[in-house]
């Protein structure tokens, strides 16, 4: 449904769609097998302005709105979810956090490199014992003259191995609980920053996920993002934008699965006719298409609210919750429609099914989204 999109938004969607299906899709299956990081994809995407979509032109970005961004992200996810998650974390969380909370010096030093694709961004908050409960994190940052000394371990960090820059949260004052968490910009090859275990994952295998170990890692005070104690606020703000990004990824993968199922069903014959003629299957397709469209509209709603500058936390959580659960249902049905062929790697629905599974988990589980949504409903019904 594109009746409300502007000509510019449609142009961006169509441009990214053509690039995604002609270039990104070609190596998606290969990357899933080899676990090769999509560096070439990111390089080409940077040339198209996709690695700094919401960064203003004065910092080398495209300066687009959030609607344009989610359209582009969905199209990349349609072809390769591994590439899309790199794009999403880089844009939604890293670039936006520096743009919103960074000093003028930090914006000049980092945003141009991020927008050009010279550096890919990562975000490190999760720890071995602090996932849904970020206040329980143990990584510390102790002031030492003009530096902060970071010690601790971060877990499940998307792009952690390949990132040129990582935003890291750490405790600067344990007595203040969430108000004692600060955020730091740590560039690659900083002494004391060690890439730890790289995970062997079920899906999104072309995107690295790893531990980052901080062993007396010295970060200059000029790389404190915001002020001391702003880390939790920065992280929660970043996750709101990131959750819209997950909704966009979910929509892209679900649309790919739906399209693959429709194509297969019009070619596969059983009992003397294509299986697309059977009512049971046609009703499955109707349900799948309706769910994809509902998720897309929730994604657009959250993105539009973000563009208007109003609080969109509730809508972001709703979009993330519904879309991430939806893509798991849709990919499962698409696989089922393929029968035995859906269970083998020759057909992409097998990859779609595996890639989709983590969407209900990362950047806030479905259960956490329900906590956020219900808190909004009970605390202020006017926000509905």
- Tokens 């104690």 found at: 229
In Å, how far are 109, 222, 223, 226, 316 from 102, measured between CA atoms? Answer: 10, 10, 9, 6, 23
User: What is the per-residue pLDDT for 383?
Assistant: 47
Whose CA is closest to 138, among 149, 126, 148, 156?
A: 126
Residue 145: how many CB atoms within 10 A of its CB? 9
Residues 179 and 218 in one domain: yes
Range of the domain at 156: 122-228
Instruction: Quote the CA–CA distance of 90 and 51 in Å, as a whole number.
Output: 7
Residues 36 and 83 in one domain: yes
Instruction: Quote the CA–CA distance of 266 and 274 in Å, as a whole number.
Output: 6
Residues 101 and 127 in one domain: no
Please indicate whether residue 127 is annotated as part of the active site: no
Q: Which helix (H) or strand (E) holds 321?
A: helix 313-337
In Å, how far are 118, 158, 191, 209 from 42, measured between CA atoms? Answer: 10, 15, 26, 17
With a CB cutoff of 8 Å and minimum separation 6, the contacts of 330 are 254, 257, 258, 288, 291, 292
Residue 374: how many CB atoms within 10 A of its CB? 11
Residues 362 and 321 in one domain: yes
Q: Does residue 135 lie within any of the structural domains?
A: yes
Q: Does residue 2 lie within any of the structural domains?
A: no
Q: Does residue 182 lie within any of the structural domains?
A: yes
- CATH number, position 320: 1.20.140.10
Mean pLDDT of the 287-302 span: 98
Q: Does residue 1 lie within any of the structural domains?
A: no
Percentage, residues of the chain above pLDDT 70? 98
User: What is the per-residue pLDDT for 239?
Assistant: 92
How do beta strands 209-220 and 224-225 pair? unpaired
Q: Which of 82, 99, 120 corresponds to the end of one domain?
A: 120
Q: With a cut of 70, say whether residue 176 has pLDDT above it.
A: yes
In Å, how far are 292, 312, 379 from 373, measured between CA atoms? Answer: 21, 11, 10
Residues 212 and 243 in one domain: no
Residues 243 and 373 in one domain: yes
Q: Does residue 384 lie within any of the structural domains?
A: no
Q: With a cut of 80, say whether residue 146 has pLDDT above it.
A: yes
For the segment 72-130, what is each residue's pLDDT rounded down to a tens digit? 999 999 999 999 999 999 999 999 999 999 999 999 999 999 999 999 999 999 999 98
- The sign of the torsion formed by the CA atoms of 32, 33, 35, 41 equals negative
Residue 104: how many CB atoms within 10 A of its CB? 7
Instruction: Quote the CA–CA distance of 27 and 22 in Å, as a whole number.
Output: 10
The per-type count for the chain, helices as H runs and strands as E runs, is 13, 10
Q: Which helix (H) or strand (E) holds 384?
A: none
User: What is the per-residue pLDDT for 134?
Assistant: 86
User: What is the per-residue pLDDT for 381?
Assistant: 58
User: What is the per-residue pLDDT for 199?
Assistant: 97
For the segment 54-75, what is each residue's pLDDT rounded down to a tens digit? 999 999 999 999 999 999 999 9
Q: Does residue 383 lie within any of the structural domains?
A: no
Q: Which of 92, 120, 148 corresponds to the end of one domain?
A: 120
Residues 142 and 218 in one domain: yes
User: What is the per-residue pLDDT for 208?
Assistant: 97
Residues 360 and 253 in one domain: yes
Whose CA is closest to 12, among 71, 74, 56, 81?
A: 71
Residues 243 and 364 in one domain: yes
The number of domains in the chain is 3
User: What is the per-residue pLDDT for 384?
Assistant: 46
Q: If DSSP codes are grouped into helix, strand and coil, which group holds residue 357?
A: helix
Residue 357 in tokens? 């599974």
- What is the pLDDT confidence band of residue 4, given thresholds at 50, 70 and 90? confident
Mean pLDDT of the 243-252 span: 98
Residues 279 and 219 in one domain: no
3-state helix, strand, coil in the chain (%, to 5): 60, 15, 25
pTM score of the predicted model: 0.95
Residues 362 and 275 in one domain: yes
Instruction: Quote the CA–CA distance of 9 and 293 in Å, as a whole number.
Output: 18
Q: Does residue 40 lie within any of the structural domains?
A: yes
- What is the pLDDT confidence band of residue 133, given thresholds at 50, 70 and 90? confident
Catalytic one of 75, 228, 325, 363: 363
3-7, 184-188, 371-375: least confident range: 3-7
Q: Which of 58, 92, 120 corresponds to the end of one domain?
A: 120
Q: Does residue 256 lie within any of the structural domains?
A: yes
User: What is the per-residue pLDDT for 308?
Assistant: 97
- CATH number, position 152: 2.40.110.10
Residues 93 and 221 in one domain: no
Q: With a cut of 50, say whether residue 345 has pLDDT above it.
A: yes
User: What is the per-residue pLDDT for 2?
Assistant: 62
Residue 233: how many CB atoms within 10 A of its CB? 16
Most distant pair of Cα atoms in the chain: their distance = 79
- CATH number, position 11: 1.10.540.10
Angle CA(138)–CA(139)–CA(144) in degrees, nearest 5? Answer: 130
Instruction: Quote the CA–CA distance of 273 and 247 in Å, as a whole number.
Output: 36
Q: With a cut of 50, say whether residue 195 has pLDDT above it.
A: yes
Percentage, residues of the chain above pLDDT 90? 96
Whose CA is closest to 183, among 204, 156, 165, 161?
A: 165
- What is the pLDDT confidence band of residue 331, given thresholds at 50, 70 and 90? very high
């Amino acid at each position: 449904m594109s009746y409300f999109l502007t000509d510019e938004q449609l142009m961006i969607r169509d441009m990214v769609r053509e690039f995604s299906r002609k270039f990104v899709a070609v190596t998606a299956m290969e990357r899933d097998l080899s676990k090769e990081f999509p560096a070439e994809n990111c390089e080409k995407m940077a040339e198209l302005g996709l690695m700094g979509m919401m960064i203003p032109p004065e910092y080398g970005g495209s300066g687009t709105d959030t609607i344009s961004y989610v359209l582009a992200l969905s199209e990349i996810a349609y072809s390769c979810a591994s590439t899309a998650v790199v794009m999403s974390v880089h844009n939604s969380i890293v670039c936006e956090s520096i743009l919103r909370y960074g000093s003028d010096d930090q914006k000049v030093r980092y945003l141009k490199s991020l927008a050009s694709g010279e550096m890919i961004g990562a975000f490190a908050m999760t720890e071995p014992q602090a996932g849904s409960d970020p206040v329980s994190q143990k990584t510390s940052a102790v002031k030492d003259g003009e530096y902060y000394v970071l010690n601790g371990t971060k877990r499940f960090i998307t792009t952690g191995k390949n990132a040129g820059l990582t935003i890291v949260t750490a405790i600067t004052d344990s007595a203040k609980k969430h108000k004692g968490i600060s955020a730091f910009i740590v560039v690659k090859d900083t002494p004391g920053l060690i890439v730890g275990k790289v995970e062997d994952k079920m899906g999104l295998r072309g995107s690295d996920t790893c531990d980052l170990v901080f062993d007396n890692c010295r970060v200059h005070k000029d790389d404190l993002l915001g002020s001391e104690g702003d880390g939790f606020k920065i992280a929660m703000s970043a996750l709101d934008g990131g959750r819209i990004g997950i909704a966009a990824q979910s929509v892209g993968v679900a649309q790919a699965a739906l399209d693959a199922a429709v194509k297969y069903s019009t070619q596969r014959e059983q009992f003397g006719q294509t299986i697309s003629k059977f009512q049971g299957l046609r009703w499955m397709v109707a349900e799948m298409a309706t769910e994809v469209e509902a998720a897309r509209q929730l994604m657009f709603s959250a993105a539009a609210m973000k563009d208007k500058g109003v609080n969109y936390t509730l809508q972001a959580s709703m979009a993330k919750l519904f879309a991430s659960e939806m893509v798991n249902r849709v990919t499962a049905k698409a696989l089922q429609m393929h029968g035995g062929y859906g269970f083998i790697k020759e057909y992409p629905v097998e990859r779609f099914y595996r890639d989709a599974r983590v969407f209900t988990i990362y950047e806030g589980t479905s259960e956490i989204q329900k906590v956020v949504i219900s808190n909004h409903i009970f605390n202020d019904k006017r926000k509905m």
